[in-house]
Amino acid sequence: MNAAVARVAPSVALLAVSAVLTAVLWSAVAGVVPAAEADPAVYRKTVQPLLARYCFDCHGPDQQEASLAIDKLNADVAGGGAATVWSKIADKLSLRQMPPVDADQPSDAERQAIVDWVKSEMARGGLHYDDKLPMAAYGNYVPHEQLFGRAPAGPSWSPPRYWRIRPAAYDQLIRNLRQRVTVTNPFPLAGEGGFADYATAYKIDGPGVEVLLRNANVVAESMVKDSAETGRSIPGMREVLLPLCTAGPEQPTDQQLRAAIGWLYGSILARDPTADELREREAFYRAGATKLGPAAATRNLVASVCLTPEVLFRYEFGGGSPDEHGRVRLTPREIAFAVAFAFSDLPPDAALRDAAANGTLQTSAGVEREVRRILDDASIAKPRILNFFREYFGYADAELVFKDRELNTNHHPRALVNDTDRLVQLVLSEDKNVLEELLTTNRSFLPRDYKNELHYSYSVPPDWKRTDDPVTMPGDQRAGILTQPSWLVAWSGNFDNDIVRRGKWVRYKLLGGTIPDLPIAVNAQVPDEPHNTLRERMRVTQEAYCWQCHRHMNPLGVVFEDFDHFGRFRVRESVQDPEKTAKNFDAKGRSLGPVMRQVPVDASAVIEGSGDPAVDGPVTGAVDMVRRLAKSERVRQVFVRHAFRYWMGRNETPVDAATLQAADAAYVRSGGSMRALIASLLSSDSFLYRKHTEQTARAENSQFENVASHPTKKEQSP
C-alpha cells in the first residue's frame, strides 16, 4: 500500500466492503440468484414439447443445422456440460432470431417459458446467464406491436436498481468540494451499441476502487489543509472542520463533531445523516483521533463520506407500501435527483429540493410541473437534451473518423459537428415537429471560422458570403441531419462511404429493426476494385447467405451515395479508367499513375420490410427517402422508444407500453414538441415506480443491512 493510500487506511475497509457488496447486489438485481432444485418433470411437460414443436424440424432427428441436435439435450443444464448450448438457445429465442421467420413461431409466453427454465437451471448450478435483452444494443428486440399495437396490459414500472453516476457528475462533485485539486475520473462511459449511460452497464472494479481511494485522500487532505487557511476554504468548511483538526486531548465537543458531520453529508450527499450514520461517524472520528491524532482523524472522516456508495451510485429503490400492482413509488429525494440528472450532471436545485420537502413530488402532476419548470427556464442548463440527439444520430463521432487531409484540405470535423449542434438547438428552440424537422429541414449552419473554407463541405458556391444565420440549402441536395456532412462523415470509412453501417443505422434507429451480429466465419471484405464504384463492389453482399441480412441494410445505405465520404453532394464520382491507366506511361516506360473517369452516381433503391407500407417502395436518393421516413408513424414511435431508453437508462419492455403510448400521444398532441415528450417520460410510471420482485428485495435486504454508509429506506431530508 502506497503512502497516499495509507493515510486513509481507516476508511479502506468501509470502501472495500461497500464495493464488494455493490458488486454482489448488482448481480442479484440482474437475476443471478439461487433457484429451486431442478424438476425434470417441468422439462418433460413444458420445455421439451415446445422444443419438439418449434425446433426439431431443423435441429432434430432428421436434420441438424449448424450441427446442433436439440433433441439430444436433456434437463441437466448445469451438470450435463451443455450450459453454453442452452444459453445460446435461450438467446436466440429471447432475441427472436429463431425459429426462422418463415417457420411457425412460438407465442411470447412459450418463448419466455423456455428462457426462464434455462435461467433457472443455470442459476441452480451456480452459472450466470448473460441475458442480452437488457443490453443497450438489443433494445429493438421487443416487437413494436407489443408496445404500440395493442392496449397496455397494465400500468408501467421499472426494476429497483443502482445507477452508477456519470463521469461529469463525479467531476462536478469534486469541483464543488475542492476546485484546486486534480483527480482521476474512474467512471468511463462505453456506450457500445446504444446509449452510453445505461443503469446496468457499469460496475466499480478493483482498479476503480484504488482510484476512488486516492481521490478521496486528495480531496480530504486538501479540505483539511485549507480549513486552517483563511480565504481558501469553501463556505462553511473552516467553521466546522477547524475545531476537529486542531482539537486537543479533550477532542471536539459532541455539538462541534455533529455539526461537522452534518455539513459533510449536506455538501457531499445533499442530505442530512441518519441517526445511525451520525453515531457511527462520531465513533469513527473519536477512535481515529485517539489513535492517529485529530488532523488524521479529520482527513479520514472526510474521506469516508467521499467513499460512501451513495456518492458513486444513484439509489432508485422507492419506499412506502406497495400499491395494488405491487409497485412502490420513488421517494421524493430519489425523484428529485432523478429529475435533476435527467437534464444535467448537477444535483437538484433549490426549487426541486423544496418540492421534495413540501410533498409536490408525491404526484405525477407535481413532478411534471417541476419538469416543465426546468424545461421552460432558459437560465437552467440542460446539456443532456442536446446530448440525446448527439448520441441518437451519432454525428459527433465525425471527429473520430480518420480522413487523409491530402484528399480534402478543407475538412475540419469539429466545425462540422458544431454546425449540426447549432441546427439541433435551433430546431429545439422552435419545438415544433422536432423529429420531422431534424430529418427534413434544408436549413443549415455553415462554419464560421477556418478562413471561410469549410463551406465547401456543404457544396455551396465559391462566392458564398459568411453569415451567422442558418442558410437554406438546395432542397434536392440536403434534408436534415442525415445529409449533414457531420453525420455522413461519422458513418463513413476512412477512405470511402460505408453503405452497410449507414443502412444499419436507418434500420435500427428509425425503423426499429434488428440486424444479427456478423457471423464469425464471414470474411467481410469489399473487393479492392478502383475501376468500380462502391455500389458495384458491394455485389459480394448479394450472395444468398449474405443477403439474408444485407437486404435489410444495403438499400437503406446506398441512397447516401449522393454524397462522397466527406459529405459533399455529388452527381458524378471518379473511378479509374483501366484501359487508359494501362497505357499511361512516359517515354521511359514509367507509370504516370491512374487515369480517372467520371461516372453518374446511382443512389436509387427499393425499400422493403420497413414495417410501414407507406415507407416501402422505390426511392431516388437520400433526400427522397428521409422525407418519406419523416412522415412515418412507425419512425415517430421508434424515436419515442429511443428517447425512453436514454432517459430511463434501460431498454423498454412490454410492461412499458402504457408509458410509451402516453409519450407518443403527448408528442403528437403538442404538435411534435420535444418538451412535451420529455415531460411525459419524466412523469411516467416507468420513471416514478419500482416493482420489487422477491429476488431483488432479498438481495437488497441481505447485502446491505450491515453497511453503515447505506441510507435508510425512510425518506431523508433533501
- pLDDT computed for residue 213 by the predictor: 92
One domain, residues 376 and 393:
no
Question: CA 318, CA 594: separation in Å to the nearest integer?
Answer: 68
Cα 424 to the center of its chain, rounded Å: 20
Percent of the chain with pLDDT over 70: 88
One domain, residues 400 and 473:
yes
Q: Lowest-confidence range among 210-214, 679-683, 701-705?
A: 701-705
Question: CA 291, CA 360: separation in Å to the nearest integer?
Answer: 47
Q: Is the pLDDT of residue 85 over 60?
A: yes
What values do phi and psi take at 607, rounded to 5?
A: -90, 135
pLDDT band at 231 (very low <50, low <70, confident <90, very high): low
Residue 698 lies in a domain: no
Domain C-terminal end among 381, 401, 426: 381
One domain, residues 542 and 578:
yes
Question: CA 189, CA 640: separation in Å to the nearest integer?
Answer: 23
Q: Is the pLDDT of residue 707 over 80?
A: no
pLDDT band at 450 (very low <50, low <70, confident <90, very high): low
Mean pLDDT of 375-390: 97
Q: Is the pLDDT of residue 242 over 50?
A: yes
Q: Which three cell numbers stand for residue 71?
A: 433433441
Residue 232 lies in a domain: no
Neighbours of 177 (CB within 10 A): 19
Mean pLDDT of 378-405: 96
One domain, residues 375 and 414:
no
Mean pLDDT of 248-266: 92
Residue corresponding to grid cell 475520473: 185
How many Cα atoms are found within 13 Å in the side-chain-facing hemisphere of 473? Answer: 27
- The C-alpha angle 273, 277, 279, rounded to 5 degrees, equals 115
Domain C-terminal end among 93, 108, 133: 133
Residue 468 lies in a domain: yes
Residue 8 lies in a domain: no
One domain, residues 495 and 368:
no
Question: CA 581, CA 595: separation in Å to the nearest integer?
Answer: 5
Return the higher-pLDDT residue of 612 and 229: 612
Highest mean pLDDT among 127-141, 426-440, 588-602, 698-712: 426-440
**598, β-bridge pairs:** 574
Domain around 365: 318-381
Number of domains into which the chain is organized:
3
One domain, residues 356 and 496:
no
One domain, residues 406 and 534:
yes
Residue 655 lies in a domain: no
> Who contacts 151 (Cβ-Cβ below 8 Å, separation ≥6)?
none
Answer yes or no: are the C-beta atoms of 413 and 405 closer than 8 Å: no
One domain, residues 356 and 435:
no
Mean pLDDT of 571-580: 94
One domain, residues 550 and 483:
yes
DSSP annotation string for 413-447: HHHHHHHHHHHHHHHHHHTSSHHHHHHH--EE---
Q: Lowest-confidence range among 94-108, 392-406, 447-461, 580-594?
A: 447-461
Q: Is the pLDDT of residue 717 over 50?
A: no
Mean pLDDT of 230-237: 72
- pLDDT computed for residue 136 by the predictor: 86
Report in angstroms the alpha-carbon separations of 192 from 135, 136, 166, 189, 384.
Answer: 9, 7, 16, 9, 18
Q: Where are the alpha helices (DSSP H) in 228-274?
A: 237-245, 254-268
One domain, residues 347 and 476:
no
Residue 174 lies in a domain: no
Average pLDDT, the chain: 86
Question: CA 557, CA 605: separation in Å to the nearest integer?
Answer: 9
Residue corresponding to grid cell 473552516: 238
Residue 139 lies in a domain: no
One domain, residues 545 and 626:
yes
Domain C-terminal end among 381, 402, 425: 381
Percent of the chain with pLDDT over 90: 58
Residue 289: left (phi > 0), alpha (psi -120 to 50), or beta? Answer: alpha
Q: What is the pTM assigned to this prediction?
A: 0.86
Residue 668 lies in a domain: no
Residue corresponding to grid cell 456543404: 458
One domain, residues 327 and 460:
no
- pLDDT computed for residue 451 by the predictor: 53
Question: CA 563, CA 231: separation in Å to the nearest integer?
Answer: 59
pLDDT band at 695 (very low <50, low <70, confident <90, very high): very low
